Amino acid sequence: MAYGLRAKEFAFPMKNTTLFLIAAIIIAMASGVMLVKSNKNNQNLSESSSNLVSSGEVQKIILSMKNGNYYPNTIRVKANQPVSISLDKNVGGCYRSFTIRQLGLAKYLPTPSDTINFTPKEKGIYNFACSMGMGTGTLIVE
């Protein structure tokens, strides 16, 4: 005499279409959450990229890291005014080796107090990156 229970006795009767509908709802909800987060991040990036130039003689820029890249990854400065770029404490690894190849600039910035200083002479769009090209961004000289 067996005292065990059979699996069939505890199975919940559910049609395949019901399971499919539940799975579709879960996927749709997850996609919606990801879309909202993506739009919010893009809005934050565009808002902050225009607020980076400080008043005064030297244009001071402090870059951080967000989502595996420099943040903000678009910065705007004025031509013929000195620029000072530093990396905050969130930047690590090869990202501390900061380069703007088109301007002939490359410097390792081991601490947040270290800076790369230059004066852009010509208006244009320049790419910046870490020494390995993993982190990238755009410098717009107006």
Using one digit for the tens of pLDDT, what is the confidence trace for 28-44?
666 554 444 444 444 44
Give the pLDDT confidence score for residue 24 in this predicted structure.
63
- Residue 3 CA to residue 21 CA, distance in Å, equals 37
Question: What's the longest Cα–Cα distance across the chain?
Answer: 94
Radius of gyration for the chain, computed over Cα atoms and rounded to the nearest angstrom: 26
What pLDDT digit, counting tens, does each position of 82-122 carry?
999 999 999 999 999 999 999 999 999 999 999 999 999 99
Q: Which of 90, 74, 85 is nearest to 119 (CA)?
A: 85
Q: Which pTM was predicted?
A: 0.61
